[in-house]
Amino acid sequence: MFLTARFKKGVAAGALAAMVFGAAATPVMAAGWWEGDYAYRTKINLNVQGAGVSGEVARAPVLVRLHTGNFDFADVKKDGSDLRFVAGDDRTPLAFHIEKWAPAEQQALVWVDVSGLKPGAAQTIYAYYGNEKAEAGQNVAGTFGPDYRLVWHFDAAGAPRDATANGFNGAGGEGRNAGGLIGQSLTLDGASGVSVPAQAFTGGPTSVSFWVKPASDGQLLAAPGLNLVSEGSTLFLEAGGQRSAGAALAAGTWAHVAVVNDGAK
């Protein structure tokens, strides 16, 4: 959840651009400016309410959606190369990368590396832009901490490509659906899947998470020692000859699925 307030350098206050999920704020006079060559700054208030966060998140990539309701694409370079993100102290640059940049559609999806998210506590970051002299500043691999072994966005044609520095690209899985929950999604036909490099599974504590919208029953994940299957609108985990009690997974509805292995035998 976030809301934005846009400021132009030298202007005491800006109009509130958008309020998301009922959040509210009042634009205030800009106390400082990270770098003078940037003409515009947008304040983004983050709030983890509704995300199920029960403790502090030391570091996580946060998705920022830019659109006509909270961002004026006329103020940024056409290719987005002057876009920057800065922490709430208005001094510390944040690593980020752009998954989708479509000014003609007035849409962008940007992942920003944010630290210290806490339940019940709002946090501020800033987007800076409006600098014709700026070169591209996104850092794809730097957006993800060392705990991320593999991240697939499905934002390009062909087999899935890893956004982290590890280079764990997939094999197969070339079908795409433009109507994914976040940008494009992978489309599978139930007969052939996408293979994850074995090196991505180190044998220690591991978690795998993804969004899925099943059209029918079938296997969702096959990993060393376990299977994740959807059967009768119920999700089951099979491991060591045992099957879990199951959890509801309705067909035709997006659901977030996560599997965690603590590394124990």
pLDDT of residue 180: 86
Report pLDDT digits (tens) over 205-216. 889 999 999 888
How far, CA to CA in Å, does 218 sit from each of 184, 191, 215, 249?
A: 22, 9, 9, 12
The single residue listed with the structure tokens 């199951």 is: 246
Through-space distance between the first and last CA atoms of the chain, rounded to whole angstroms: 38
In this structure, what DSSP letter does residue 93 have? B
Strand ranges across the sheet with 123-129: 16-18, 2-8, 40-46, 123-129, 84-86
pLDDT of residue 32: 74
Average pLDDT, 10 consecutive residues per value, the chain (265 residues):
49 26 31 88 88 87 94 97 97 96 96 93 93 96 90 90 92 85 85 87 85 88 87 91 90 88 72
Contact 47, 71 (CB under 8 A): no
Question: At 103, is the secondary structure helix, strand, or coil?
Answer: helix
186 closest CA partner among 200, 170, 167: 170
